[in-house]
Amino acid sequence: MGTINHSAPHRRLPYLERVHGHLNVPGAVRSLLGKTWFWLIIALLCFGVLVKLNDPAVSGESAAEVGGRRRLTAAVSEPILVSYSFFEKDAIQRDNMKYFIATGFGGSKAFDAPRNTDFVFVVSGGICTPCNAILPGLKADWRIKYMPELTHVYTSDGIFLLYRRENEGMDFAAHNVTLQWMGVNNWYRKYKYFIFLNSSVRGPFYPSYMPPGWQWTQAFTDRLVGDIKLVGSSLVCLPEVDAGGPGPKVESWAFAVDKTAMDLLIGSGVFYTRECKLCDDGVVVMGEYGLSKAVMEGGYNIATLMSMYPIGLDWKDQRHWHCNNNAHPSRHGTYDGISMHPFETVFIKASWHVGEPHLSTYTKWFMSQATLEDTTAGTFKESLYRYAISPQAQEPNTASECFNIKTTA
């Protein structure tokens, strides 16, 4: 064997040469190893080229050609369960679920279902017009015999549609049905994260600049880190005069917990079926407000998607317990003088007409995308064009007046 010439001008694999020289590998073995490494590197380079060619930004394909800006491949590895409580109270509830099926569940051409996520829809009262959109892909499930309080059960891979006999106990009783169904089928321990929604809210909403691979469930699950075990779209700091106070409480219309918090909530009876809504031991105090109480008494923390508060705020610190002047922020005009924005909280309380006019307009845009309608269509309106380029369009406006609310005190 000759010595390695370290001054040679062509040194494409200096690391391999250095290793081989140090070990004094026989020539035949060195030749075999060199060929093996050579073809391995060639294979890796070819793979990299193929990946690049499939990248729309490199291949020249537009977002529409690869399915639209909402069709994202999410890198979510931990299993998630979404429990959606539906009661067909009015047209708003129907529209909310219709929107969720199209944009959050993956029931349309432009919005993919979130990866590694199962869905349980619990219908209370027996009527569910929006369910017609998902029923054709489901089959009646014989396991209904395990839960006599259900009238119908339809399932598919990772999708469960459960019909309750009565609308009792509000959303928490419906979510309890979800947990019972998962329990009797020994599926409960499968999930790391649990997201709970009801049909009074509309969502998900999110801006187009979210990175490829992001999915709406991450707005919640990415916040469940460290000692934070409960996160919600909204959080209220209750005063001492409130039966559920004092202190911070995650509002229950859109929230998520991890497995640790889930065990705490079940153990504390948060999901019990309660018939009284406003009693001291009723649905609101023991159920909705019981969420945060159980988690914080368990030694953990809570969080919210609201932009008013910094990420990582320690809500156990009582200095923060007068947030938003102890007013519920999820009503019109009560969020520090404005209303919640759909892009801020991902889900928004549509049944209380919060977030308008953005909510209606964003709903129109997203639903048009869901059906692959052309959202660029329009006609030239000269009066609007002239106004938009005039000095008048740049003057102070009175938009804030729509949030002015009158109180007696």
Statement: residue 15 has pLDDT above 50: no
Structure tokens of 290? 């019981």
Band of residue 260 on the pLDDT scale cut at 50, 70, 90: very high
| pLDDT for position 396 | 87
| pLDDT tens per residue, range 110-130 | 999 999 999 999 999 989 999
8 Å CB contact between 169 and 274: yes
Statement: residue 86 has pLDDT above 90: yes
Query: 128-152 burial, b if ≥16 CB within 10 A, otherwise e?
Result: bebbebbeeebeebeebeebeebee
| pLDDT for position 32 | 45
| pLDDT for position 287 | 64
pTM of the model: 0.80
Band of residue 283 on the pLDDT scale cut at 50, 70, 90: low
Q: Average the pLDDT over 231-255 and give the result.
A: 93
CATH fold of 80-352 reads: Spore Coat Polysaccharide Biosynthesis Protein SpsA; Chain A (3.90.550)
Q: Kindly report the number of other CB atoms within 10 A of residue 70's CB atom.
A: 20
Q: Kindly report the number of other CB atoms within 10 A of residue 315's CB atom.
A: 24
Torsion of CA 103, 289, 403, 92, to 10 degrees: 40
| pLDDT tens per residue, range 127-156 | 999 999 999 999 999 999 999 889 999 999
Sheet containing strand 159-164, edge to edge, reads 139-140, 150-156, 159-164, 117-123, 80-86, 193-198, 254-258, 228-232, 301-304
Structure tokens of 69? 């800006």
Rg (CA), the chain: 27
Statement: residue 381 has pLDDT above 70: yes
Band of residue 109 on the pLDDT scale cut at 50, 70, 90: confident
| SS3 state at 10 | coil
Statement: residue 249 has pLDDT above 80: yes
User: Between these two residues, 66 and 213, which has the higher pLDDT value?
Assistant: 213
Statement: residue 264 has pLDDT above 80: yes
Q: Where are the domains of the chain?
A: 14-54, 80-352
Residue in the block written with tokens 């062509």: 10
Flag the least confident range among 102-106, 235-239, 319-323, 401-405: 401-405
Q: Average the pLDDT over 66-87 and give the result.
A: 71
Give, rounded to a whole angstrom, the gap between the first and last alpha carbons of the chain.
96
Band of residue 31 on the pLDDT scale cut at 50, 70, 90: low
